[in-house]
Amino acid sequence: MRISVVGGGYVGLVTGTCFAEFGHQVTIIEIDPEKIKAINEGKPPIYEDGLEDLLKKNAGHRLRAEDGYESVAGADIVFICVGTPPKPDGSANLSYIESASCSIGEKLKDIPGYCVVVVKSTVPPGTTEHVVRPVVLKMAKKTEREIGFAMNPEFLREGRAVADFMNPDRLVIGSSDPRSGKQVEEVYTSVRAPLIHTGISAAEMIKYTSNAFLATKISFSNEIGNICKNLGIDVYDVMKGVGLDPRIGPLFLNAGAGFGGSCFPKDVSALVSLAEHAGEKPVLLQSVLAINEQQPSRMITILEKRAGSLAGKRIAVLGLAFKDNTDDIRDSRAVPVIQMLLAKGARVIAYDPMAAPNMKKIFPAIEYCPTAADALRGADGCLVMTEWPEFTRLDKEFDLMAHTVIIEGRHILSRKDREGICW
Ligand code: UDX
């Protein structure tokens, strides 16, 4: 199939590259000339496990990137993968979706044949039908018999996006007519996964609901963890026992610093805003966000209880990325933690295997170390903010600290006797 993918960010680049690997002819439409150059040279502009190999294999062959929408005119199917960043009130900004729809519509004008426009971006329910569809049809001067519409959400985890794309746990295709749904299904014939066809708005809602539920599991675990802490109970033991119930499941029950990243905070806020506009009071989802906001300051409070005043203290922050296996710091819990430490007069010494260059753009003046041991040397306290596997092996390195006060924001350390570790 001939596929155009609008947007060469995390979602568009992984989607386009994997479609090319499936054997389709793919054009990624991107506005950033540096990204276009990198993609065409087979060099991923972002880090994703396994992406470089696939990009090298397909770039200049079944995959190319360009800045115009010309490829849309010859496409069987167009995937919209542009960003939907949050507006100040938490709702999703749909301006990139609208302008992509406009440009797609213009190119579909005067082109014979059937094309399906698929939204893959995370969008509020109703967007595909009430924003994308009318704009495309108006610009193309066509009817729904000539252009189909569908919504096909992605459930890709950062750092593991290629593997998730190739082996998804489900495929969701929302469409209002069988023909467009079938055409989207054909793109995925090489994927083995349960497939569900839904209405377009239901598909849009499935994405928000999945992320909101996972975020709820984390905030629920954090609330239980905060109660357990006061009662002197180990929350990880508790969740080990709780997660064995198949109705609950063991994943996403890790209490700690809370959730960050480009999806959970943004999508739960968008869902809250959506609910409020619909006249609902989404108290559960509001609490999920409120608990998450509190967790970093709880870590600072525990640190102060153990280390005393932080003024002039040397505090090591281990982990800057919002989770392991990525250099992404969007909404990382390390950001508010560093802000609070600086506000309290602490000297922040940071280490991350990948994310230091990105964090330097936000905090250029703090100290960055090449290893965890360097960050810990002489430190009066340490906060573990990211679940990097290499932190699980840290043991003797903690003996380099001036005072072994270790606040574990991710339950990953394996230091013998857990000496000095507190959560
Ligand atoms: C998430 C969803 O998992 C994915 O399906 C969706 O498409 C995009 O959002 P991602 O943001 O890449 O993926 O990260 P994820 O692995 O889900 O972790 C999100 C955050 O939750 C991280 O900050 C992580 O540290 C935190 N987390 C995760 C916890 O605090 N506790 C847990 O038990 C699990």
pLDDT (tens digit, 0 to 9) for every residue of the chain, 423 residues total? 999 999 999 999 999 999 999 999 999 999 999 999 999 999 999 889 999 999 999 999 999 999 999 999 999 999 999 999 989 988 889 999 999 999 999 999 978 889 999 999 999 999 999 999 999 999 999 988 899 999 999 999 998 999 999 999 999 999 989 999 999 999 999 999 999 999 999 999 999 999 999 999 999 999 999 999 999 999 999 999 999 999 999 999 999 999 999 999 999 999 999 999 999 999 999 999 999 999 999 999 999 999 999 999 999 999 999 999 989 999 999 999 999 999 999 999 999 999 999 999 999 999 999 999 999 999 999 999 999 999 999 999 999 999 999 999 999 998 766 777 777
Q: Is the CB of 158 under 6 A from ligand 1?
A: yes
Distance 259 CA to ligand 1 centre (A): 6
Q: Is the CB of 388 under 6 A from ligand 1?
A: no
Q: Is the CB of 331 under 6 A from ligand 1?
A: no
Q: 203 lies in a domain? A: no
How does DSSP assign 217-268, residue by residue?
Answer: HHHHHHHHHHHHHHHT--HHHHHHHHHTSTTT-STT---SS---SSSHHHHH
> Same structural domain for residues 290 and 414?
yes
pLDDT of residue 420: 74
Q: 205 lies in a domain? A: no
Q: 281 lies in a domain? A: yes
Residue 386 CA to residue 369 CA, distance in Å, equals 16
> Same structural domain for residues 313 and 170?
no
> Same structural domain for residues 132 and 154?
yes
Residue 340 CA to residue 275 CA, distance in Å, equals 32
The upper half-sphere exposure of residue 342, i.e. CA atoms within 13 Å in the direction of its Cβ, equals: 14
Which residue's alpha carbon is at the smallest distance from atom 13 of ligand 1? 157
Which residue's alpha carbon is at the smallest distance from atom 6 of ligand 1? 155
Distance 264 CA to ligand 1 centre (A): 7
Which residue's alpha carbon is at the smallest distance from atom 5 of ligand 1? 155
Q: 365 lies in a domain? A: yes
Q: Spell out the residues 6+ positions from residue 22 whose beta carbon is closer than 8 angstroms to its own.
A: 187, 188, 189, 190, 191
Spatial contact of 363 and 346, defined as CB atoms under 8 Å apart: no
The upper half-sphere exposure of residue 75, i.e. CA atoms within 13 Å in the direction of its Cβ, equals: 30
pLDDT of residue 270: 94
Q: 180 lies in a domain? A: yes
> Same structural domain for residues 180 and 84?
yes
Residue 85 CA to residue 152 CA, distance in Å, equals 19
Q: Which of 46, 154, 162, 214 to mutate to test the pocket of ligand 1 (most atoms within 8 A of CB)?
A: 214
Q: Which of 167, 264, 329 to mutate to test the pocket of ligand 1 (most atoms within 8 A of CB)?
A: 264
> Same structural domain for residues 256 and 326?
yes
Which residue's alpha carbon is at the smallest distance from atom 15 of ligand 1? 157
Q: Is the CB of 218 under 6 A from ligand 1?
A: yes
> Same structural domain for residues 107 and 244?
no
pLDDT of residue 414: 86
The upper half-sphere exposure of residue 265, i.e. CA atoms within 13 Å in the direction of its Cβ, equals: 19
> Same structural domain for residues 47 and 181?
yes
> Same structural domain for residues 188 and 329?
no
Q: Which of 46, 263, 335 to mutate to test the pocket of ligand 1 (most atoms within 8 A of CB)?
A: 263
Give me the catalytic one of 263, 369, 382, 422: 263
Q: Is the CB of 263 under 6 A from ligand 1?
A: yes
Distance 70 CA to ligand 1 centre (A): 36
Closest residue by Cα to residue 316 from 406, 199, 224: 406
Q: Is the CB of 260 under 6 A from ligand 1?
A: yes
Q: Determine the atom of ligand 1 nearest the C-alpha atom of 156.
A: 7
pLDDT of residue 108: 94
pLDDT of residue 145: 85
> Same structural domain for residues 192 and 280?
no
Domain CATH for 217: 3.40.50.720
Q: Which of 128, 163, 198 is the last residue of a domain?
A: 198
> Same structural domain for residues 274 and 193?
no
Q: Which helix (H) or strand (E) holds 360?
A: helix 356-362
**What six digits make up the tokens of 340?**
């609070």
pLDDT of residue 206: 98
Residues, the chain: 423
Residue 303 CA to residue 230 CA, distance in Å, equals 15
> Same structural domain for residues 180 and 278?
no
Judge whether 263 counts as a catalytic residue.
yes
> Same structural domain for residues 392 and 260?
yes
Q: Which of 198, 224, 248 is the last residue of a domain?
A: 198
Q: Output the pTM of the full model.
A: 0.94
Q: Which of 155, 173, 198 is the last residue of a domain?
A: 198
Which residue's alpha carbon is at the smallest distance from atom 27 of ligand 1? 259
Question: Which domain covers residue 25, as residue numbers?
Answer: 2-198
Q: 169 lies in a domain? A: yes
Q: 96 lies in a domain? A: yes
Residue 18 CA to residue 49 CA, distance in Å, equals 13
**What six digits make up the tokens of 29?**
């439409």
Q: Give how many domains the chain has, as a whole number.
A: 2
Q: 204 lies in a domain? A: no
